[in-house]
Chains A and B, each alone.
Chain A
Amino acid sequence: MSTPAGMGPSGWRGARRLAGVRRAFAPVAEARGLTRSMLWLGCAITLVFVAIALFAPVVAPYDFDTFEADGSRFAQLEAPSWDHPMGTNVQSTDVLSRIIWGTRTELKVVLVSLLFSISIGVPLGLLSGYFGGKLDRLLVLFMDALFVFPFLLLAIVIAFLLADRVGQGILTAAIAITAVYIPLYFRVVRNHTISIREEPFVEAARALGARPFTIIRKYVFFNVVQNVPPLATLNAADAILTLAALGFLGYGIQPTQGAEWGYDVNRAVSDAASGIWWTGLFPGLAIVLLVVGLTLVGEGLSETMNPVLRKRPTGTVDFSSDSGSEAAGS
């Protein structure tokens, strides 16, 4: 194939890389039916939350710890009303505002920890899977041991220990969550790298004398990276649950640093005895909704990209286009 006129080498490579990425995610466009609805619904929900997080200062009626306005203090534990559509909690802060600001907290922490998990887990998995050897065996043993351990407990322990050293807060929670999910990426990426490494086309590249890093960059990476989006979204969903759990147990962020949904639910437990439902219901629903949104995207993505589950879309069969000459019976 000749290079189209006017495209220099860098332009060509750039276009090819883009085409490679587009090809890697092509199955998503082919999704039909239920899977497609899931993807769209999930994306919509997630985007709404992202928007809320981004525009929190504009959208929220009050700050997350405002307990008075116009000189008068808000009522305590006031039921939902026009002034406070989701009511107020025991500290006279507006529940709705806390939900909105809480979105920011959740997404911030989860995003940061996700980025760290991926940037540590994926390269480690690639290198470990491709080069094998002693380092690989050691890493695998280590990661498996971590993986087997209950996520939440690990996060709690790490958060607890870091709290003494670093002090509680967003950083601690983020680090705890990062550490817990690294083995996940490592494992998936490593397994996939190993199976790609054995493919004939990689063997051919090696036979041609390509250097290992070139092979990894050109062949292995794009194949393996396909795993990341479904994994990352499902991971994000799980991370939100873990963060909320940490907040519920008191190992999340400090109340002075921002609002956090899990923490709010914890505060609401004592309200329940008096039949006060709005302080717990709304933060809880927020958690559920965001996690559902992320999970829908994640499930939709993994369904479309998993070749076993992918359903080949079928068109209608058209018998009319006959060429006319059917063999007559003998």
Chain B
Amino acid sequence: MTAAPVVSVRGLRVYYGTLRGTVRAVDGVSLDIGAGEVLGLVGESGCGKSTLGRGILGLLPDGAASKGDVIYGGRNLVGMSEKDLRRLRGPDLGLIFQEPMTRLDPLMRIEDQFQETLEQHEPGLSAREVRKRSLETLGRMGIPPTRFRQYPHEFSGGMRQRIMIALALVLRPKLLIADEPTTSLDVIVEAQILRILADLRRNFDTALLLITHNLGIVAEACDRVAVMYAGKIVEEGLAGDVFAEPAHPYTRELLRSTISLDTKELHSIPGAPPNLITPPPGCRFHPRCPDAMAVCPTKEPVEQHLAHERRVFCWLRGPEQAIPAGGTSPLEREEIAVAEEA
């Protein structure tokens, strides 16, 4: 990375407090996103990617707490006051949600929603200015000005998502986090949305974190990709490279599970995602990893840098010195009984 990243995350931990214990949803994540760059964040449901996205913006629900560093514009977003964070949300930080159907106030016209957002952050704007900017951004999303005064329920899901994106973009944020923006939309609409998101980097130079569980989207729209499992990043690198030659067994298994027109039989990863209150010791993937070694349950893997800006957390990739004698032999374990799997 040549230029300084727009946002720099170091050792971010987001934990939820519940009656049964502390859920370690995000457990020590570090990554950078640069201007005009699209970083894809993939993983299974429940791996913590949504929490990570919200944790970066400080939009956490009651009972959650975060620790670590999220450096943006020279300041640490973690621990910043709610007031300061609120000022950043909109003009600097943006979030696009998953379900567009329920994300707009049903009693407010689109026009008013834009007005509210713009007035909040740029109170000096004239009504004409507000209208001009709103229509311009909406226009880029393909929403005609004639529909400016309509209510949310008069739009389809795909259009509502475009309105949401427009609302997020009207203030030209430098960092945009898209949390599964196309999951609840059909494939054609999905393609349109992705194209819009891809345009962002060209037109606005926005840094985009694209959270999804759909590998296809990542391959299509992202520059780099980070793979997440059980609250930790297991692999990160250029999208093309990671998909062509996955360095981590989990990434490899994920890719193999993807269904395409060539798929002859279904492949799945045995077992289920781990309990995040008491995660497995050592490498969290070891109970389900087909290539697990003896060392894997004992120590957490150390970050390894590979060629072409690739990072991976796996004992298979070393470092050799850190592995004790006999650690590379295959892991002995009992067969997972089929009944216990569910």
Instruction: Establish whether A and B are touching in the complex (CB under 8 Å).
Output: yes
Chain A residues within CB distance 8 Å of chain B: 30, 312-319, 321, 323-330
Q: Would B15 and A315 count as touching, CB distance under 8 A?
A: no
Of the four ranges (under 10, 10 to 19, 20 to 34, 35 or more), the interface on chain B belongs to 20 to 34
Sample 11 A-B pairs with CB under 8 A, ordered by A number. Answer: A30-B19, A314-B16, A315-B18, A315-B21, A323-B27, A323-B281, A323-B300, A325-B28, A325-B302, A330-B305, A330-B311
Partner of A319, one of B15, B29, B303: B15
Q: How far is the CA of A312 from the CA of B18 in the complex (A)?
A: 8
Q: How far is the CA of A329 from the CA of B305 in the complex (A)?
A: 12
List, in ascending order, chain B residues with CB within 8 A of A314's CB. 16-19, 62-63
Q: How far is the CA of A209 from the CA of B300 in the complex (A)?
A: 52
Q: Would B28 and A327 count as touching, CB distance under 8 A?
A: yes
Partner of B65, one of A313, A317, A324, A325: A317
Q: Would B22 and A327 count as touching, CB distance under 8 A?
A: no
Query: Cβ of B10 < 8 Å from any Cβ of A?
Result: yes
Q: How far is the CA of A327 from the CA of B69 in the complex (A)?
A: 12
Q: How far is the CA of A27 from the CA of B303 in the complex (A)?
A: 44
Q: Which residue of chain A lies nearest to B1 when distances are taken between CB atoms in the complex?
A: A330
List, in ascending order, chain B residues with CB within 8 A of A328's CB. 303
Q: Mark B16-56, 1 if CB is under 8 A from A, else 0.
A: 11111110000111101000000000000000000000000
List, in ascending order, chain B residues with CB within 8 A of A329's CB. 10, 30
CB within 8 Å for A315 and B22 given contacts A326-B28, A327-B30, A327-B303:
yes
Query: Cβ of B194 < 8 Å from any Cβ of A?
Result: no
Q: Would A313 and B30 count as touching, CB distance under 8 A?
A: no
List, in ascending order, chain B residues with CB within 8 A of A327's CB. 11, 28-30, 233, 303, 313
List, in ascending order, chain A residues with CB within 8 A of B248's CB. none
Q: Would B32 and A330 count as touching, CB distance under 8 A?
A: yes
Nearest CB of chain A from residue B39's CB, rounded to whole Å:
14
Q: Would A319 and B30 count as touching, CB distance under 8 A?
A: no
Q: How far is the CA of A316 from the CA of B16 in the complex (A)?
A: 8
List, in ascending order, chain A residues with CB within 8 A of B17's CB. 314-318
CB within 8 Å for A319 and B62 given contacts A327-B11, A327-B30:
no
CB within 8 Å for A325 and B21 given contacts A319-B65, A330-B30, A330-B311:
no
Query: Cβ of B109 < 8 Å from any Cβ of A?
Result: no
Q: Would A321 and B22 count as touching, CB distance under 8 A?
A: yes
Partner of B11, one of A316, A318, A321, A326: A326
List, in ascending order, chain B residues with CB within 8 A of A313's CB. 18-19
Q: Would B300 and A319 count as touching, CB distance under 8 A?
A: no
Query: Cβ of B67 < 8 Å from any Cβ of A?
Result: yes
Query: Cβ of B85 < 8 Å from any Cβ of A?
Result: no
Q: How far is the CA of A30 from the CA of B20 in the complex (A)?
A: 13
Partner of B67, one of A316, A319, A321: A319
Q: Which residue of chain A lies nearest to B11 when distances are taken between CB atoms in the complex?
A: A326
List, in ascending order, chain B residues with CB within 8 A of A324's CB. 300
Q: How far is the CA of A317 from the CA of B63 in the complex (A)?
A: 7
Nearest CB of chain A from residue B287's CB, rounded to whole Å:
16
List, in ascending order, chain A residues with CB within 8 A of B217's CB. none
List, in ascending order, chain A residues with CB within 8 A of B27's CB. 323
List, in ascending order, chain B residues with CB within 8 A of A326's CB. 11, 28, 30
Nearest CB of chain B from residue A309's CB, rounded to whole Å:
15
Q: How far is the CA of A129 from the CA of B18 in the complex (A)?
A: 38
Q: Which of B56-79 contact A (CB under 8 A)?
A: 62-65, 67
List, in ascending order, chain A residues with CB within 8 A of B160's CB. none
Nearest CB of chain A from residue B200's CB, rounded to whole Å:
25
List, in ascending order, chain B residues with CB within 8 A of A323's CB. 27, 281, 300
Q: Would B10 and A318 count as touching, CB distance under 8 A?
A: no
CB within 8 Å for A317 and B16 given contacts A326-B11, A326-B28, A327-B30:
yes
Q: Would B62 and A318 count as touching, CB distance under 8 A?
A: no
Q: Which residue of chain A lies nearest to B24 when distances are taken between CB atoms in the complex?
A: A321
Q: Would B303 and A317 count as touching, CB distance under 8 A?
A: no
Q: Would A315 and B19 count as touching, CB distance under 8 A?
A: yes
Query: Cβ of B13 < 8 Å from any Cβ of A?
Result: yes
Nearest CB of chain A from residue B228's CB, rounded to whole Å:
13
List, in ascending order, chain A residues with CB within 8 A of B32's CB. 330
Q: Would A319 and B13 count as touching, CB distance under 8 A?
A: yes
Q: Which residue of chain B lies nearest to A311 when distances are taken between CB atoms in the complex?
A: B62
Q: How far is the CA of A324 from the CA of B300 in the complex (A)?
A: 9
Of B20, B22, B62, the most chain A CB neighbours within 10 A belong to B22
Nearest CB of chain A from residue B198's CB, rounded to whole Å:
26
List, in ascending order, chain A residues with CB within 8 A of B30's CB. 326-327, 329-330
Q: Which residue of chain B lies nearest to A314 when distances are taken between CB atoms in the complex?
A: B63
Q: How far is the CA of A316 from the CA of B22 in the complex (A)?
A: 7
Q: How far is the CA of A316 from the CA of B29 in the complex (A)?
A: 21
Q: How far is the CA of A313 from the CA of B17 in the complex (A)?
A: 9
Q: How far is the CA of A1 from the CA of B28 in the complex (A)?
A: 39
Q: Would B300 and A318 count as touching, CB distance under 8 A?
A: no
Q: Would B22 and A317 count as touching, CB distance under 8 A?
A: yes
Q: How far is the CA of A330 from the CA of B11 in the complex (A)?
A: 11
Q: Mark B291-331, 1 if CB is under 8 A from A, else 0.
A: 00000000110110100000101000000000000000000
* The 10 nearest A-B residue pairs measured at CB: A314-B63, A315-B17, A317-B65, A317-B17, A325-B300, A326-B28, A326-B11, A317-B15, A327-B303, A318-B22
Q: How far is the CA of A54 from the CA of B211 in the complex (A)?
A: 64
Nearest CB of chain B from residue A328's CB, rounded to whole Å:
7
List, in ascending order, chain B residues with CB within 8 A of A315's CB. 17-22, 63
List, in ascending order, chain B residues with CB within 8 A of A325's CB. 28, 299-300, 302
Q: Would B64 and A317 count as touching, CB distance under 8 A?
A: yes
Q: How far is the CA of A128 from the CA of B280 in the complex (A)?
A: 51
Q: Which residue of chain A lies nearest to B64 when distances are taken between CB atoms in the complex?
A: A317
